[in-house]
Structure 1
Amino acid sequence: MTRPRLNEARTKIVATVGPACDSVERLCELIEAGVDVFRINSAHGTIEQHAEKLANIRTASIQTGFPVGVLLDLAGPKIRLGQLATEPMQCSLGQKFTFIRGQSSDAPDELTSSYARLIDELDRGDRVMLADGTVALEVESVSADKAVCHVVAPGEIRSRQGINLPGVKLSVSAMLPADIENAIWAAQNEIDFISLSFVRTSEDVRSLKDLLGSYECPALVIAKIEKPEALENLERIVEEADGVMVARGDLGVEIDVAETPVAQKRIIATCKRHMKPVIVATQMLESMHHSSRPTRAEASDVANAVLDGTDACMLSGETAIGDYPREAVAIMNRIMRKTEESELPTSPAVDGKIEAAHRMAHAVAQAGTSVAEAIGSKLIAIATHSGGTAWVKSNTRSLIPTVAVSDHVASVRRMNLFWGIEPMLCENIQDTHHLIEHVTRWASAQTDNGVALVNSGDTIVVVSGSDVIENADSVLSVHTLP
């Protein structure tokens, strides 16, 4: 077993699985390069294809000895273009196009969409953004069965590309029938995280959590922030969700692109106050689709996300369809490590209500960190069944390496999303002597350029969560390596 490692990035890496990396061999390479969570995008492929990806991920986890997490990304009410008459289609400045009902048209000046009510919800003057915002139309007129538009930002479009409607409040449900089917499949197959696209209110998140609850599914629900309504309801959405994704692709089209960096910082800060993990996603190393090295701007983008306080960064097309999936993971890991060597910002004050809900775990995690820093401990070890204590500990943002040991493999996989937590599977964690022996054996084997990271005489601070030791809320102890 080569992972977890004490000398890898504390900020986690989420990588999207696609044709470029979906074999067991390539998935093993990405795990070794630093992937903590694999994302399956339900917008592409069938449930049978998702199941094949999941089987390969689980096999790669066994082969590498690292229980990597899995995130299923629900497509949500993503509006897409129907089949175009020509492929690709050029849109010239001032050119007129007409949206009609249906899924396809043979006329070169007619467009269709996957959303049957699109024409009903458009008004004169609305903007229609195509191809991730690179092409823009403005609505001239709307009648019962068509909406006439003209091009205000020219470019090239293709069938099935996304449609964004900035400022248009859609009546479509947050979960379509296909999303419900995918969520049920995820619940039945022990998926660790399920993300919900185009969240607008906390009720959208609650509807998914209720569905998963009916299947007794413990998966963490990740709310994707990519609509203006989500920013308006941010506090309540973060309170309701188990985690959040800053989905900058659609968010940067739905709001002014100039506002996106500030929105990212606001979302991350809100998540930190509520002790919720947050993922920054989309175009982080975009040039690595076809280049073996990122641009300086992309490296700065990753570094700034780390400095903002994100728990994880996500790779999309870079690993799914790119030419250099392993290299993209490795360079992201390097950028994160170098950034973390600088002075990281302290976590903002935790929201009072959340702090009360985790009062004991928060107090013990803070105490364990303080003790470790005071005596110069090389390692903090957390024993936890559920991962709750590790979740709280990750919010201290201490740079002291922390390993979280659980006897539940599902908890180990979920902890892969927690900043600064290296999860490890171990049986019988109630036996403190056995736990210390297991952690010591692992820590003693950790080296960096041939130099041992932990040596005889070094101390380890051990925190046992409230669900581990019988008749004890939490236990904190200090051990010296023999």
Structure 2
Amino acid sequence: MSRPRIEEASTKIVATVGPACNSVEKLIELIEAGADVFRINTAHGDRNQHEEVVNNIRQAAEQVGFKPGILLDLAGPKIRLGQLISDPLNCEIGATITFVRGDEPQNDHEMTSTYAKLIDELSTGDRVMLADGTVALKVEKVAADRAECRVTASGTVRSRQGINLPGVKLSVSAMRRTDVDNAIWAAQKGIDFISLSFVRKPEDVQSLKNLLASYDSTALVIAKIEKPEALEQLDAIVDASDGIMVARGDLGVEIDVAETPVAQKRIIATCQEKMKPVIVATQMLESMHTSSRPTRAEASDVANAILDGTDACMLSGETAIGNYPVKSVEMMNRILLCTEREMLKENIAGRYPNTRVHPITTAVTHAATNIAESIDAKLIVISTRSGDTAWIKSKSRSRVPTLGVSDSDATLRRLTLFWGIKPIKSAELDHTPEFIDQMCRWGRTHSDIKTGDQIVFVTGTGVVKKAQNMLIVHTVE
């Protein structure tokens, strides 16, 4: 097995799969380069293509011997332009652009939308942002079947590009019919993580959770924060979710772009406090679509996300459609490793209250981390059936290498998102000599562990139900 490796980064890498990397051979290269989770964006492609990607990921995993997690990203109610008559269309400042009902514009400066209620929900003075915010419009007049807008920031737009409506309260549901269908398919395929786009309230998250529960899915629900309404109810949304994605693309259009870095820090801090994993996404190494090297600003952006406390960084177009998918993962991995080496040791395990796991498990896990650091242990080994004990350990941000050992493939794939946890499969999880010997052999093979080094084990005796109540300090013989 080439992965996990003791020396690899603790911050996880989520790589989006697309035409540039969807073959088994290329997916293997991405895993070897450091990808931990693969994202499938349902806004692109069809069911047959998504099915093929899942099969290819699992085939690559079998060949490498490392099982990456799979994240299905539901498209959500993304509002897009219809077909333009003049495509692309150059929008000059002061020009009039008119949104009309239906899907057949009559002239170059008329636009249609995939959202049938758009004209009904626009008001005079509202802002309309096109093409990821590069083109800005202001609504000047609304009639029964049209809304006239004035261009306030010029640029070029193309058919099917996104429409953002900062400050406009929309009645659109968080999940469209196609999202429900994709979520059911994901549940049936055993997908590990499902992200929900354009979350505005905790009830959006709970609706998806209820749907997945009805299909006996254990997938973790990741809420994407990209609307001002989500920031207003951030605490409640984080509480309702299993994890969070800072979706900076739409968020940076929906709110003032100058506010986006502060919003990112606030979201990460809230996730740390509530012990939920968090992914920072969008334009992290954007220039690597076409360049073999990122800009210095992009490298700093990735490093700052790590310093803020993110669990994972995500690559989107860089791996999906870029010219350098493998180099993008390798570069992100280099930045992660360099940044983590310079981070001061920090233990935040006891700073925030935890209600996720049994209090005995929490106490034993915190104690194991403290003991491992104080005796300079070479490894922490956590036995975990559901992944929750490893989840608690990941939030300590301890630099002691940690194995999350489970007999469940689903749990191991879940651990691919948790900071600093290296997933290892074992049929034996209890404190038997065979289990301890197995972990010592792994340590000798995959790191510089030698006779006399110490390994800290977190496991259970079975005396306390659903709790890991045993801590063992083992000296390697």
For 2:66, the equivalent position in structure 1 comes to 66
1:115-130 maps to which residues of 2 (within 5 A)? Answer: 115-130=115-130
In structure 2, what residue type is equivalent to 1:231? L
The CA deviation at 1:23 is 0.2
The CA deviation at 1:358 is 4.2
The CA deviation at 1:105 is 2.3
CA distance in 1, matches of 2:168, 2:379: 51
CA distance in 2, matches of 1:386, 1:145: 54
For 1:441, the equivalent position in structure 2 comes to 441
Residues 16 and 40 of structure 2 are in contact (CA less than 8 Å); yes or no, is this contact kept in structure 1? yes
For 1:457, the equivalent position in structure 2 comes to 452
- Is structure 2 residue 470 aligned with structure 1 residue 475? yes
For 2:201, the equivalent position in structure 1 comes to 201
SS at match of 1:370: helix
In structure 2, what residue type is equivalent to 1:347? I
- Is structure 2 residue 284 aligned with structure 1 residue 284? yes
CA distance in 1, matches of 2:135, 2:260: 19
CA distance in 2, matches of 1:220, 1:278: 12
CA distance in 2, matches of 1:176, 1:44: 15
CA distance in 1, matches of 2:318, 2:309: 23
SS at match of 1:372: helix
For 2:432, the equivalent position in structure 1 comes to 432
Deviations 1:428-455 (Å, cap 9, x if unpaired)? 22363232222222211225xxxxx212
Q: What is the TM-score with the length of structure 2 in the denominator?
A: 0.97
1:221-300 maps to which residues of 2 (within 5 A)? Answer: 221-300=221-300
The CA deviation at 1:467 is 7.5
With over 3 angstroms needed to count, the CA separation of the structure-2 counterparts of 1:471 and 1:173, relative to structure 1, is closer
Deviations 1:393-421 (Å, cap 9, x if unpaired)? 00111000001110000000000000010
CA distance in 2, matches of 1:312, 1:465: 29
SS at match of 1:25: helix
The CA deviation at 1:479 is 1.2
For 2:377, the equivalent position in structure 1 comes to 377
In structure 2, what residue type is equivalent to 1:454? I
SS at match of 2:339: helix
SS at match of 2:342: coil
SS at match of 1:244: strand
Residues 138 and 150 of structure 1 are in contact (CA less than 8 Å); yes or no, is this contact kept in structure 2? yes
For 2:348, the equivalent position in structure 1 comes to 347
The CA deviation at 1:97 is 1.0
The CA deviation at 1:48 is 1.6
With over 3 angstroms needed to count, the CA separation of the structure-2 counterparts of 1:426 and 1:176, relative to structure 1, is same
The CA deviation at 1:86 is 1.9
For 1:323, the equivalent position in structure 2 comes to 323
The CA deviation at 1:104 is 3.7
Residues 385 and 468 of structure 1 are in contact (CA less than 8 Å); yes or no, is this contact kept in structure 2? no
The CA deviation at 1:192 is 0.2
Residues 68 and 416 of structure 1 are in contact (CA less than 8 Å); yes or no, is this contact kept in structure 2? yes
Q: Where does structure 2 lack aligned partners over 5 or more consecutive residues?
A: none
Deviations 1:363-402 (Å, cap 9, x if unpaired)? 1111001111121100000111111100000011100000
For 1:20, the equivalent position in structure 2 comes to 20
Identical counterparts, % of pairs: 63
SS at match of 1:439: helix
CA distance in 1, matches of 2:434, 2:443: 14
SS at match of 1:149: strand
CA distance in 2, matches of 1:468, 1:444: 32
Larger displacement relative to structure 2 (255-264 or 354-363): 354-363
SS at match of 1:380: strand
SS at match of 1:80: coil
CA distance in 2, matches of 1:422, 1:129: 42
Deviations 1:56-88 (Å, cap 9, x if unpaired)? 000010010001000000011110111111221
1:38-57 maps to which residues of 2 (within 5 A)? Answer: 38-57=38-57
Moved segments of 4+, more than 6 Å: 466-472
Larger displacement relative to structure 2 (370-379 or 230-239): 370-379
For 1:335, the equivalent position in structure 2 comes to 335
With over 3 angstroms needed to count, the CA separation of the structure-2 counterparts of 1:292 and 1:471, relative to structure 1, is closer
Residues 28 and 64 of structure 2 are in contact (CA less than 8 Å); yes or no, is this contact kept in structure 1? yes
Q: What do you get for the CA RMSD once the two structures are aligned?
A: 1.6
In structure 2, what residue type is equivalent to 1:249? G
CA distance in 2, matches of 1:270, 1:414: 21
CA distance in 2, matches of 1:239, 1:390: 19
SS at match of 2:237: helix
With over 3 angstroms needed to count, the CA separation of the structure-2 counterparts of 1:60 and 1:323, relative to structure 1, is same
For 1:362, the equivalent position in structure 2 comes to 362
SS at match of 1:434: helix
1:103-122 maps to which residues of 2 (within 5 A)? Answer: 103-122=103-122
The CA deviation at 1:103 is 2.6
CA distance in 1, matches of 2:119, 2:347: 48
For 1:450, the equivalent position in structure 2 comes to none
In structure 1, what residue type is equivalent to 2:89? M
With over 3 angstroms needed to count, the CA separation of the structure-2 counterparts of 1:56 and 1:421, relative to structure 1, is same
With over 3 angstroms needed to count, the CA separation of the structure-2 counterparts of 1:246 and 1:468, relative to structure 1, is farther
Residues 349 and 395 of structure 2 are in contact (CA less than 8 Å); yes or no, is this contact kept in structure 1? no
Residues 380 and 400 of structure 1 are in contact (CA less than 8 Å); yes or no, is this contact kept in structure 2? yes
With over 3 angstroms needed to count, the CA separation of the structure-2 counterparts of 1:473 and 1:346, relative to structure 1, is closer
For 2:156, the equivalent position in structure 1 comes to 156
SS at match of 1:476: strand
In structure 1, what residue type is equivalent to 2:27? L
Number of residue-to-residue matches in the alignment: 476
SS at match of 2:253: helix
CA distance in 2, matches of 1:226, 1:461: 41
With over 3 angstroms needed to count, the CA separation of the structure-2 counterparts of 1:348 and 1:456, relative to structure 1, is closer
Deviations 1:30-60 (Å, cap 9, x if unpaired)? 0000000000001111122111100000001
Q: Where does structure 1 lack aligned partners over 5 or more consecutive residues?
A: 448-452
Larger displacement relative to structure 2 (432-441 or 13-22): 432-441
Residues 350 and 366 of structure 2 are in contact (CA less than 8 Å); yes or no, is this contact kept in structure 1? no
Q: What is the TM-score with the length of structure 1 in the denominator?
A: 0.96
CA distance in 2, matches of 1:142, 1:417: 47
